[in-house]
Structure 1
Amino acid sequence: MSDPKIFSHPGEGEWVATPDGNRRRVVLFTDELMVVEFGFEKGGVGALHSHPHVQASYIAEGRFEVTIDGRTETLAAGSSFIVPSNLVHGVKALEAGRLVDTFAPHRADFL
């Protein structure tokens, strides 16, 4: 792994296009934990998927339809959710918005 990034300042980090048409930027990471910001346009979809990492997400802006293990709820800015390891999950942006996701351990595929 490259050197851990333990401090972040506004505007740092390069936005990268995601395979499902959204964008992400790695904010901070160590071997054990990673913070990633995701940006969505209205109607943007984070396709259903699973991974071994535990994920906790905070909705920084917008409203999202969030599905975890077949259960769907609509969440707005200030809300959060957690995805236990290996559960199928995804989101749909009901308006433009941003998610701040944490992953434990870090997502090596994002570096």
Structure 2
Amino acid sequence: MTATKIFNHADEGTWTGTPDGNRRRVLLHTDELMLVEFAFEKGGIGALHSHPHVQASYVAEGRFEVTIDGKTEVLEQGSSYIVPSNLVHGVKALEAGRLVDTFTPHRADFLD
């Protein structure tokens, strides 16, 4: 599979509701890499979960309590974290905010 596109503009992409009540939009993807934006209201939870994909995340806006493999830290705008394959992780939005996540390989379950 090749990327359906190689550039994404701020107003592009369709927001989709997530099972835990937040929103996400896939920005770009190839077989090897995916870029996804998540939006949270204050108090929003990204439930604890794990997956085989390696994930790197950037806090684009807001403050989040981030838990990875039982360790929790509060991260604010401009901070980032990485989740190695199969580690249990999740977030809580301490204020409304956005995360920009990358996954390798891509998350097929996020595609229509």
**TM-score category (smaller protein):** over 0.9
1:63 aligns with 2:54: no
Is 1:49 the counterpart of 2:56? The answer is: no
Q: d(CA) in 2 for partners of 1:24 and 1:35? A: 11
Match status 1:80 vs 2:70: no
Contact 2:2 2:30 in 1 (8 A): no
Task: Name stretches of at least 5 consecutive residues in structure 2 with no aligned partner.
Answer: none
Give the secondary-structure state (helix, strand or coil) at the position aligned to 2:39. Answer: strand
CA distance in 2, matches of 1:2, 1:108: 14
CA deviation profile, 1:58-91 (whole Å, cap 9, x unmatched): 0000000000000000000000000000000000
Kept in 1, the 8 Å contact 2:55–2:103? The answer is yes
Q: Provide the C-alpha distance between the structure 1 equivalents of 2:3 and 2:93, rounded to a whole number of angstroms.
A: 33
* Counterpart residue number, 2:30: 30
What is the alpha-carbon distance in structure 2 between the residues aligned to residue 83 and residue 15 of structure 1? 24
The alpha-carbon deviation at position 10 of structure 1 amounts to 1.1
Residue 3 of structure 1: how far off its partner (Å): 4.9
SS in 1 for 2:109: helix
Secondary structure of 2:10's partner?
Answer: coil
RMSD in angstroms over aligned alpha carbons? 1.1
Alignment partner, residue 108 of structure 2? 108
Unpaired runs of at least 5, structure 1:
none
- TM-score, scaled to structure 1: 0.97
C-alpha displacement at 1:19, in angstroms? Answer: 0.2
SS of residue matched to 1:4: coil
Contact 1:4 1:31 in 2 (8 A): no
Over the matched positions of the two proteins, sequence identity in percent amounts to 81
CA distance in structure 2 between the aligned counterparts of 1:45 and 1:108, rounded to whole angstroms: 22
Cα distance, 1:6 vs structure 2:
1.7
